[in-house]
Amino acid sequence: MTAVDFDAERTYDDEKFSTVEVFRSEQMKVVCGYFEPGQFIPVHAPSSDVVIDVRSGTGLIRDGDAEHRVEPGDVVTVGADTDRGVKADDDSRLEALLVTAPPPTDAEHEPVRRGLRTDEFDPTDT
């Protein structure tokens, strides 16, 4: 069993969102995500399902062409091969638990790296 105190793991980065990986197997990856205001995980579409449990703050989650406003207590699921991204509102930190199954590959995260380099929430638009 893996037990993690979400609050004790809290860490923020002024440059980009931060994550603390709490579990990984071939079938699943679980991370605590911490976003300063305006920070984001760029839109990408890996071959994995994701569940996002918003713990605090407010923001936006992209699910395909839809955008969902989120707040504490919201749980959003996005299916595999569907564009997804997470963004904290400009006036709020956002904290969420993210579970992906199976874990995305390194190649599937290239749009994330590109979006962070170019400061674009949706690098798939370019």
Domain that holds residue 64: 18-110
Residue 126 lies in a domain: no
| CATH number of residue 40's parent domain | 2.60.120.10
Tens digit of each residue's pLDDT, the chain (126 residues): 677 888 888 888 898 999 999 999 999 999 999 999 999 999 999 999 999 999 999 999 999 999 999 999 999 999 999 999 999 999 999 999 999 999 999 999 899 999 999 999 998 765
Residue 113 DSSP SS3? helix
> What is the domain count for the chain?
1
Residue 80 lies in a domain: yes
Kindly tell me the burial class for residue 73, based on how many C-beta atoms sit within 10 Å of its own C-beta (0-12, 13-18, 19 or more): exposed
Residue 77 lies in a domain: yes
Residue 125 lies in a domain: no
Residue 25 lies in a domain: yes
